[in-house]
Amino acid sequence: MPDCDLLEKCGFFAKYRDSLNLACRGFIKSYCTGEKMDDCERKRYRQQHGAPPVDEMLPTGQMVPSDYLS
């Protein structure tokens, strides 16, 4: 499966791709390079608003909790 076409522009991916947090890694595996790619709320936000969401918005549409920052 190919990676998301917005991967190089995605603030969430850029900021959290090297995170050791298992939840972040799971979101990246499922949404950025996996089967849930078309369900990404970040992608929908960009399409609706013509601009990317804040980096801390998860692919589910929720915001990154402060304990994800490791």
Range of the domain at 21: 7-68
Per the document, the length of the chain is 70
Return the pLDDT at 2. Answer: 75
Q: Are 41 and 49 in contact (CB under 8 A)?
A: no
Return the pLDDT at 67. Answer: 66
35 or 2: which carries more pLDDT confidence? 35
Both ends of the chain: CA-CA distance in Å?
28
Q: Does some domain include residue 18? A: yes
Q: Does some domain include residue 1? A: no
- The domain tally of the chain equals 1
Q: Quick: pLDDT tens for 9-66.
A: 999 999 999 988 888 899 999 999 999 999 999 999 999 999 999 999 999 999 987 7
